[in-house]
């Protein structure tokens, strides 16, 4: 009971005009499978489990075009278990219940395991995912889920805890080029029987464009082969023609998913590490992929306080100005304002003393009893408040020669507590000098 379209074998040569090249070129053996050698090289645990028919429930997590469905097909061809596959895009709770019932009957009547492959499992909601749990726990089914989204966020915790997650990485350019050359040489399923000449430069160009996605690479190759000009009856695909075919590189990006958080994390950590070149690169990756520039601007404002702070008080001003500039002139003109802010923040002296000061204070605010504001720090705008000694013994700092008094401003239970501890970097070195001087004055008074 294999869901149509997932594992149906393409037909003969007559079908080649209807079945996409990417589908026709799916590997049929592990020797044909390109990439993911850290998981599928001979002797690796996952390959051993598949070849010995000992596979347990797994989640295959990786970007599009990295071989998740092809790996599921290899499992279907290798295992002795009943193999059922369907797509979360097309199936609902009714289909899930039917599959569960069939798996239970198969195990009870024939003692045969059922391997259930779910493509795009992240598209199932919590109730649909929960429907699998009893059968997974009873051993009626072995679940194989494929997802492009982080399973930590998209797969229910009980289901995730019963599955092993395998991460499939984007294909390298060398792996993608291997797939393309194989398609060009394959006479039966590929383009080997066509009057077609593709230069090595074009192959490498397609591999770069595909950005680790084998399906994108094969789709572009097929399009180029069908639209290329011919010379002497032979279609010619070279680097110049390829450049015309590719208007803009398709960057992997999902503004609400895993890659969104990966890229903003890379930007933040590059600035923190004072690497303006890396920071500008990650900024460009986000902007060119269509990220909301104001989202980036908000993160820069946060960074200015969290990671630069008073080591360079001007950083916050620069970040806010970049945010205003983006809002005022929009994109693409706003990209330079963001770049200016990113390079400024990356090259500014760093201090997280402001951030740590707040965390310490917030910790005390939650853990200690909420002491009343000391009377000497309270305003006394009414006669009654003055009678209750609001503001009594308050010391006005401007009356002192150094504008510093010996008055305590924390509640008695927190007297002497230090939250803000400036570093010796940037302007905070001056702040530290001031604080040390004021501490000495208070001690004398």
| Per-residue pLDDT reduced to its tens digit, 370-384 | 788 888 888 888 888
My answer on whether 131 and 37 are in the same domain is yes
**Residues composing the chain:** 445
pLDDT band at 113 (very low <50, low <70, confident <90, very high): confident
Specify the pLDDT at position 250.
54
Cβ–Cβ under 8 Å, residues 130 and 156:
yes
Range of the domain at 407: 372-444
Distances (CA, A) of 53 to 46, 100, 103, 369: 10, 21, 17, 61
My answer on whether 315 and 420 are in the same domain is no
What number is the average pLDDT over the span 226-242? Answer: 87
For residue 130, with 0-12 CB atoms within 10 Å meaning exposed, 13-18 middle and 19 or more buried, which class applies? middle
Q: Quote the tokens at residue 152.
A: 């930590």
pLDDT band at 343 (very low <50, low <70, confident <90, very high): very high
My answer on whether 80 and 59 are in the same domain is yes
- What are 60's strand-pairing partners? 146, 166
4 domain residue, yes or no: no
Answer yes or no: is pLDDT of 369 > 50: yes
Q: Which of 347, 381, 396 is the last residue of a domain?
A: 347
CA dist., res. 303 & res. 354, Å (int): 11
Residues 6 or more apart whose CB falls under 8 angstroms from that of 341 comprise 297, 300, 318, 319, 321, 322
Q: Which of 167, 182, 201 is the last residue of a domain?
A: 167
Residues 6 or more apart whose CB falls under 8 angstroms from that of 161 comprise none
| Mean pLDDT computed over every residue of the chain | 85
More confident residue, 123 or 202: 202
- CATH number reported for the structural domain that contains residue 222 in this entry: 1.10.8.60
- CATH number reported for the structural domain that contains residue 275 in this entry: 1.20.272.10
388 domain residue, yes or no: yes
pLDDT band at 141 (very low <50, low <70, confident <90, very high): confident
Specify the pLDDT at position 92.
65
What number is the average pLDDT over the span 57-84? Answer: 86
pLDDT band at 13 (very low <50, low <70, confident <90, very high): very low
My answer on whether 67 and 151 are in the same domain is yes
My answer on whether 33 and 159 are in the same domain is yes
Specify the pLDDT at position 4.
41
15-24, 226-235, 334-343, 357-366, range with the lowest pLDDT: 15-24
Half-sphere exposure (Cβ direction) of 351: Cα atoms closer than 13 Å: 23
Whether the link from the prior residue into 332 is cis, omega within 30° of 0, is: yes
My answer on whether 72 and 130 are in the same domain is yes
pTM above 0.85, yes or no: no
- CATH number reported for the structural domain that contains residue 151 in this entry: 3.40.50.300
**End-to-end CA gap in the chain:** 87
């Amino acid at each position: 009971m294999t869901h149509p379209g997932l594992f149906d074998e393409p037909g003969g040569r007559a079908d080649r005009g209807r079945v996409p090249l990417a589908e026709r070129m799916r590997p049929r053996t592990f020797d044909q499978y390109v990439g993911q050698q850290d998981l599928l090289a001979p002797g690796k645990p996952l390959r051993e489990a598949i070849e010995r028919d000992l596979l347990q429930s797994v989640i295959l997590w990786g970007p599009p075009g990295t071989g998740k469905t092809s790996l599921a097909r290899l499992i279907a061809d290798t295992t002795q278990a009943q193999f059922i596959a369907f797509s979360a895009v097309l199936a609902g709770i009714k289909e899930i219940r039917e599959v569960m019932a069939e798996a239970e009957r198969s195990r009870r009547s024939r003692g045969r395991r059922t391997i259930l492959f779910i493509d795009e499992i992240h598209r199932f909601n919590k109730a649909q995912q929960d429907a699998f749990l009893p059968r997974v726990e009873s051993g009626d089914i072995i679940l194989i889920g494929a997802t492009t989204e982080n399973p930590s966020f998209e797969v229910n915790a009980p289901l995730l805890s019963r599955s092993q997650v395998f991460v499939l990485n984007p294909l390298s350019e060398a792996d993608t080029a291997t797939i393309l050359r194989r398609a060009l040489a394959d006479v039966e399923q590929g383009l080997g029987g066509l009057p077609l000449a593709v230069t090595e430069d074009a192959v490498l160009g397609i591999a770069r464009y595909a950005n680790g996605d084998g399906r994108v690479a094969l789709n572009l190759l097929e399009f180029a082969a069908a639209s290329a000009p011919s010379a002497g009856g032979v279609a010619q695909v070279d680097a110049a023609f390829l450049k015309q075919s590719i208007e803009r590189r398709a960057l992997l990006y999902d503004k609400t998913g895993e890659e969104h958080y990966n890229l903003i994390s890379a930007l933040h950590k590059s600035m923190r590490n004072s690497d303006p070149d890396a920071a500008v690169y990650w900024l460009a990756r986000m902007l060119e992929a269509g990220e909301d520039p104001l989202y980036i601007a908000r993160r820069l404002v946060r960074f200015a306080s969290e990671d630069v702070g008073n080591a360079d008080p001007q950083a916050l001003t620069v970040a806010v100005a970049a945010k205003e500039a983006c809002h005022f002139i929009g994109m693409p003109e706003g990209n330079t304002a963001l770049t200016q802010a990113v390079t400024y923040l990356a090259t500014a002296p760093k201090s997280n003393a402001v951030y740590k000061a707040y965390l310490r204070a917030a910790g005390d605010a939650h853990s200690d009893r909420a002491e009343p504001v000391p009377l000497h720090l309270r305003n006394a705008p009414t006669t009654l408040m003055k009678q209750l000694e609001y503001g009594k013994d308050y010391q006005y700092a401007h009356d002192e020669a150094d504008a510093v008094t010996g008055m305590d401003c924390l509640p008695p239970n927190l007297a002497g507590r230090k939250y803000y501890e400036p570093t010796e970097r940037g302007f905070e070195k001056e702040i530290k000098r001031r604080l040390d001087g004021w501490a000495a004055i208070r001690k004398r008074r």
